[in-house]
């Protein structure tokens, strides 16, 4: 129990903090396992990326002739240049993971309904921006790895009927990845995306405060504590841990850099960046229009539509919705893991061969239909076993789809060799 904080005691630092936090917070809201500090970790990662990014700009030159050399100079001849690049590289990768974990945290604590619905949409926007940051940054070193990975991914929109080719050419500044693409990506990466990100992140913070903080497991047990030092100490510890961890990783592991990009010599296999690897794997199995357009539109549509459903207020904030939520999660992820893996093997070794002798119209539809049927099968099984309601079904469906994406990504990254053939 605490007394009301006196306004007179606020210094500049505290006043700044109170723009980010209210003066008092609920004790259970600052328990580590409520948020795992993930929102704050993402914010700090962005600050680290912005600072290291601006410093990288001092020596980076965005032309095909000089980009690679400027990175080599930075790594080998600039004081702490290598460390700077490594910090930027590893923070960027980590941010995809921490933003995704934060997404899972808010999703599985049902923190996306009513007054938080708009923040879920902003969050999805932030996640898209993080992927865009990573993808545009990927090209900048202009080595074999970045050149060909961007070529593979920037060809993907071609499968979107009518607009795909135009969209792809617009982003690349022409039909191929070249100097125009590098300049476009550099401008996006260092000017447009940071601006959009700061605006969206500010709105996101504003809405967290407007919703009176994060959701609670038991909102009726209220016990308010003063934010400074209770929350601020925890945030400082998480920030210190993150920073030291990143510094260690950046000192031990160098960001990859292959040889200078050669548009005439493609490596085998050419792999997409890891966060798009699942997409590349999906393209091997199902019709390209299904993989690039239909599946993403359906999944993103589902993510946008779901929070407008009428959930009971008492279920908000509960991890996995209710007591049986954890079991539903385990069943859906294990079944999805097993079926996706099995379907990839069956498609590679059996269906794909059969397809060669079938009409091309059927290409890629059979595995897609089997996947839909298997998903319906899992849902029916869960309905029978757990008598799941609408919101448990949302959680199960989300788990099934994201587990499949993880399995597809792992297969693409670790089990695909020359000509993208399966290797064990």
Using CB under 6 A, list all residues that contact ligand HEM: 35, 38-40, 42-43, 46, 49-50, 53-54, 56-57, 60, 71, 85, 88-89, 92, 95, 99, 102-103, 106, 111-112, 116, 119-120, 123-124, 126-127, 130, 133-134, 137-138, 140-141, 189-190, 194, 201, 204, 208, 211, 214-215, 255
Q: What is the CA radius of gyration of the chain?
A: 24
CA distance 233 to 365: 54
Contact at 8 Å (CB) between 131 and 296? no
Nearer to ligand HEM, 126 or 291 (CB): 126
What is the closest distance, in whole angstroms, from the C-beta atom of residue 40 to ligand HEM in the complex?
5
Nearer to ligand HEM, 123 or 325 (CB): 123
Nearer to ligand HEM, 26 or 392 (CB): 26
Nearer to ligand HEM, 200 or 355 (CB): 200
Nearer to ligand HEM, 371 or 391 (CB): 391
CA distance 245 to 259: 29
What is the closest distance, in whole angstroms, from the C-beta atom of residue 357 to ligand HEM in the complex?
43
Interstrand relation of 24-26 and 224-226 (parallel, antiparallel or unpaired): antiparallel
What is the closest distance, in whole angstroms, from the C-beta atom of residue 149 to ligand HEM in the complex?
11
Nearer to ligand HEM, 112 or 291 (CB): 112
Contact at 8 Å (CB) between 85 and 71? yes
For residue 89, give the nearest of 127, 40, 36, 145 by alpha carbon: 145
Nearer to ligand HEM, 140 or 366 (CB): 140
What is the closest distance, in whole angstroms, from the C-beta atom of residue 417 to ligand HEM in the complex?
23
Nearer to ligand HEM, 102 or 285 (CB): 102
CA distance 149 to 169: 16
CA distance 358 to 361: 8
What is the closest distance, in whole angstroms, from the C-beta atom of residue 144 to ligand HEM in the complex?
13
What is the closest distance, in whole angstroms, from the C-beta atom of residue 68 to ligand HEM in the complex?
10
Q: Where do the H-state alpha helices sit in 109-225? A: 117-139, 144-155, 164-172, 179-187, 193-210
Distances from the Cα of 330 to the Cα of 77, 107, 202, 320, 334, angstroms: 51, 16, 35, 11, 6
Residue 95 burial by Cβ neighbours in a 10 Å radius (0-12, 13-18, 19+): buried
Cβ atoms within 10 Å, residue 60: 19
What is the closest distance, in whole angstroms, from the C-beta atom of residue 141 to ligand HEM in the complex?
4
What is the closest distance, in whole angstroms, from the C-beta atom of residue 31 to ligand HEM in the complex?
12
Nearer to ligand HEM, 41 or 366 (CB): 41
CA distance 361 to 339: 25
Nearer to ligand HEM, 137 or 157 (CB): 137
Question: Which secondary structure element, helix H or strand E, spans residue 25, and what is its range?
Answer: strand 24-26
What is the closest distance, in whole angstroms, from the C-beta atom of residue 105 to ligand HEM in the complex?
7
What is the closest distance, in whole angstroms, from the C-beta atom of residue 351 to ligand HEM in the complex?
35
- The distance from CA 349 to its chain's CA centroid, rounded to whole angstroms, is 31
CA distance 287 to 303: 23
Cβ atoms within 10 Å, residue 419: 7
For residue 2, give the nearest of 27, 34, 30 by alpha carbon: 27
């Amino acid at each position: 129990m605490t007394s009301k904080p006196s306004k007179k005691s606020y210094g500049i630092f505290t006043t700044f903090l109170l723009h980010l936090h209210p003066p008092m917070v609920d004790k259970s809201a600052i328990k580590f396992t409520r948020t795992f500090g993930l929102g704050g970790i993402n914010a700090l990662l962005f600050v680290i990326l912005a600072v290291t990014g601006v410093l990288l700009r001092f020596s980076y030159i965005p032309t095909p002739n000089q980009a690679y050399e400027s990175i080599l100079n930075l790594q080998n001849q600039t004081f702490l240049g290598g460390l700077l690049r490594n910090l930027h590289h590893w923070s960027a990768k980590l941010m995809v993971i921490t933003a995704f974990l934060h997404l899972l945290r808010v999703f599985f604590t049902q923190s996306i309904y009513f007054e938080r619905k708009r923040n879920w949409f902003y969050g999805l926007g932030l996640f898209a921006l993080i992927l865009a940051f990573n993808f545009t940054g990927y090209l900048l070193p202009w080595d074999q790895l970045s050149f060909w990975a961007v070529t593979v991914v920037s060809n993907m929109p071609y499968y979107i009927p009518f607009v795909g080719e135009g969209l792809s050419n617009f982003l690349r500044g022409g039909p191929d990845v070249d100097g125009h693409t590098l300049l476009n990506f550099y401008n996006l990466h260092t000017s447009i995306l940071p601006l959009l990100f700061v605006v969206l992140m500010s709105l996101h913070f504003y809405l967290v405060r407007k919703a009176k903080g994060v959701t609670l497991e038991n909102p009726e047990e209220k016990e308010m504590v003063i934010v400074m030092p209770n929350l601020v100490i925890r945030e400082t510890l998480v920030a210190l841990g993150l920073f030291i961890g990143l510094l260690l990783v950046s000192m031990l592991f160098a960001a990859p850099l292959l040889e200078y990009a050669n548009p005439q010599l493609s490596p085998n296999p050419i792999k997409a960046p890891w966060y798009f690897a699942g997409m590349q794997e999906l393209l091997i199995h199902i019709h390209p229009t299904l993989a690039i357009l239909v599946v993403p539109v359906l999944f993103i549509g589902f993510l946008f539509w779901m929070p407008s459903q009428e959930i009971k207020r008492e279920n908000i904030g509960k991890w996995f919705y209710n007591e049986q939520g954890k079991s539903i999660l385990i069943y859906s992820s294990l079944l999805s893991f097993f079926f996706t893996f099995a379907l990839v093997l069956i498609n590679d070794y059996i269906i794909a061969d059969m397809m060669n002798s079938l009409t091309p119209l059927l290409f890629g539809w059979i595995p897609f239909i089997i996947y839909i049927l298997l998903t319906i099968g899992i849902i029916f099984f869960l309905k029978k076993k757990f008598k799941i309601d609408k919101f448990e079904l949302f959680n199960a469906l989300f788990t099934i789809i994201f587990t499949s994406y993880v399995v597809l990504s792992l297969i693409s990254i670790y089990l695909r060799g020359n000509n993208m053939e399966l290797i064990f």
